[in-house]
Structure 1
Amino acid sequence: MQNNPLYQLKDIQTPDPIGFWPLAWGWWLIIVLSIVILAFTIKWLIRYISNNKAKKQALAMLAEISKEPHPHKTVIAINDILKRVMLVYLSREQVASLNSASWANLLNTLASDKHKITADYVELAYQPKCSAQKADAYLEQAKAWIKHTLPLSSTQKLAAHNIVAQRINAPQSLHQNMAKEQSHV
């Protein structure tokens, strides 16, 4: 009896299954990109929430003062709320020194054409009396201004900076012109 050569063959041995570790460089790239995208998304979300927090609080405060029976107190409170909310988005130097026409100019420069505040309404806070109709109209304009203007974009912040810089430089140039005129006399 002759040995059959087929009997000498051994079974085929399959290799071990391929594991997932260590990861290929492509997977590492995907993991790193996912972490970076997640970090930027969280940072953006936190900034979005904090920027809109002041806006929501200002609208809530305006809703509370709508119940105020004295129109002049309402107008003063509206100005205070507008200044407080602007202090969140701009520096104290840019907001605190503004009043009357310069304050109205800043608000209207930052707003779109549809949501500007009438300058006469802003100046009501600096007058001894005002009517209830004007106070209500100012309140509605202030609500619309806050809803549609805030939070401020970087271009709006730059525009506010330019307005304040012009206001600060204007008195200096006026004094310089007066000094020149006096020296020529």
Structure 2
Amino acid sequence: MNPQSTLGELRDIHLPETGGFWPPAPGWWLLALCLLLVIAAAVWFIMRRHRKCRWLRLARRQLGELESRASRNPQWFAQLNTLLKQAARERYRDQHPEALSGDDWIRFLLQTSPDGDADSRQIVEAIVHSAWQPATHADPILAISFARQWLGGQKC
């Protein structure tokens, strides 16, 4: 046998074919699972916060409706007072603010106000007392301003 003839029969070295992109390696499956879990948790937290803050969005919308028909009417002040009580009931469930009235309700509004200002006391008293007085002298614009400030300071 001729050594030259056997060398001529040999072929070049061929590398094995790559595995392709599918199926992915186990590490990629774990990464995809972790990514899906993070996305699901983020969606859950966002939805939970959205549901939790629904009362505040609703109260702000109702306040806008009240503002559009502001008047010195005692019924209007009663509606504003009711709106503030409903919002307080949602925000401060453990303190039961819906049961408060008169000076206790005024004190509660001032304590939970973001400013807690004594300057707001006259406005708050006007909101509370104008709801049941036959003639009101309170300014609805100042009442709306206080209510917007009070709602703005509430966190969900």
Superposed CA deviations along residues 138-184 of structure 1, whole A, max 9, x for unmatched, are: 121101221x22333xxxxxxxxxxxxxxxxxxxxxxxxxxxxxxxx
More helix by share: 1
User: For residues 69 and 43 of structure 1, do their structure 2 counterparts lie closer, same or farther at Cα, with a shift above 3 Å needed?
Assistant: same
Match of residue 35 from structure 2: 34
Conservation of the 8 A alpha-carbon contact between 1:75 and 1:125: yes
List gaps (5 residues or longer) in structure 2. none
Pairing 1:149–2:150 present? no
Name 2:2's counterpart in structure 1.
2
Q: Which residue of 2 aligns with 1:76?
A: 78
The 8 Å contact of residues 55 and 90 in structure 2, kept in 1 or not, is answered as: yes
Residues 1:32 and 1:78: Cα distance change in structure 2 (over 3 Å): same
Q: TM-score, normalised by structure 1?
A: 0.64
The 1:126–1:76 alpha-carbon spacing in structure 2 relative to 1, beyond 3 Å, is closer
Higher relative contact order, chain-length normalized (CA < 8 Å, sep 6+) = 2
Give, as a single letter, the amino acid of the residue that structure 1 aligns with 2:51.
Answer: S
Q: How much is the aligned-residue C-alpha RMSD, in angstroms? A: 2.9
Alignment TM-score, normalising by the size of structure 2: 0.74
Partner Cα separation in structure 1 for residue 12 and residue 43 of structure 2: 56
Unaligned runs of 5+ in 1: 153-185
1:121 maps to what in 2?
126
How far is 1:132 from its partner? 4.2
Deviation sequence 1:45-97 (CA, Å, 0-9, x none)? 21232234322222222222231434322221111011122333343871321
Counterpart Cα distance in 2 of 1:115 and 1:33: 49
In the alignment, the residues of structure 2 paired with residue 125 and residue 44 of structure 1 have an alpha-carbon distance, to the nearest angstrom, of 41
Partner of 1:171: none
Change (3 A) 1:109 1:132: closer
Instruction: Give runs of aligned pairs for residues 32-181 of structure 1, distance below 5 A.
Output: 32-66=33-67, 67-91=69-93, 94-113=96-115, 117-118=120-121, 119-125=124-130, 127-128=132-133, 129-133=135-139, 135-146=140-151, 148-152=152-156
Q: From the superposition, tell whether residues 145 and 35 of structure 1 become closer, same or farther in structure 2 (CA, over 3 Å).
A: same
- In the other structure, the counterpart of 1:167 is none
Distance 2:127 2:70 in 1: 18
The alpha-carbon distance between structure 1 residues 81 and 149, as it changes in their structure 2 partners (threshold 3 A), is same
Quick check: 1:115–1:141 contact (8 Å CA) kept in 2? Answer: no
3-state DSSP of counterpart to 1:131: coil
Query: How many corresponding residue pairs?
Result: 149
Residue 113 of structure 1: how far off its partner (Å): 1.8
Instruction: State the identity as a percent.
Output: 18
Residue pair 1:83, 1:96 contacting (<8 A) in 2 also: yes
